[in-house]
Amino acid sequence: MKKTVFHLLLSLISVFVLLSGTVQAQSDSIVPYQEGLHYFEIEGAPARNDQPMELVELFSYLCTHCNTFEPYINSWAQRKADSVKFRRIPVVFGRAAWELYARGYVTANMMGLGDEAHAAMMDKIWKEKSVMRTMEELSEFYSRFGVTAEAFQGTSKSFAVDAKMRKDQRLAQTFGIRGTPALVVNAKYRITGNAAVPSYDVMLDVVDYLIERETIERLESAALESETEELEAELSAEAQLETPEETEGR
């Protein structure tokens, strides 16, 4: 029995060392992007190991850089893995005009208006140079996508939209967002443009790097957990098969 336990524990240690060696090998290799330079870990980020991988774009319709970023993020969303979720959060930053458009976006999403309405809103503002300043105007705009202006305006004042707005702005604060566009991977890493991330292509390359790294870490964690459970089960089975004579002889 003692030899069996020893060998099982040795196997567990071997698995741990193997996985640790994989991580060490990765850390010793050339890392294309560095924390604190190309991306930033979000302090107090909640673990999401049991949830799908996710990319969040924080934006505003009234942000010219967000409009420029649109074709880049749309192209990325089309090529991303099906297992990776993508969603947008409209930020406000205490600006009344940004709050109006953020409420419009949240209302549109809640009413099931999709990417077509989102793209049309960007074009309305930046291609047609038409800025709407009231919810009535926004409601008329969104009525082109299968809802009535009255229903849209009523939903925009609902408790559900108010609650979603508050939740989104709290998330933006938690993520440490101070400008747009900004990207957050798995509620854990923040990527924004800076001297080290000089283009939108680089921003999205950092996203791909972080998603790949998070995926590898999840697989390693799952493998170690599975191996540990198997070894614990074997130990438990061995203990149950132990004879009375073996117990008395200790």
pLDDT at 70: 98
- pLDDT tens for residues 17-28? 444 444 444 444
Cut 0.75: pTM above it: yes
Which CATH architecture describes the domain 37-213?
3-Layer(aba) Sandwich (3.40)
pLDDT at 113: 96
pLDDT at 244: 56
pLDDT at 20: 46
Which residues of the chain fall below pLDDT 70? 1-30, 222-239, 242-250
pLDDT at 242: 64
Residue 14 burial by Cβ neighbours in a 10 Å radius (0-12, 13-18, 19+): exposed
Q: Domain locations in the chain?
A: 37-213
> Cα-Cα-Cα-Cα dihedral of 35, 37, 43, 47, to 10°?
-40
SS3 assignment for 42-70: CCCCCCCCCCCEEEEEEECCCCHHHHHHH
pLDDT at 220: 83
pLDDT at 161: 98
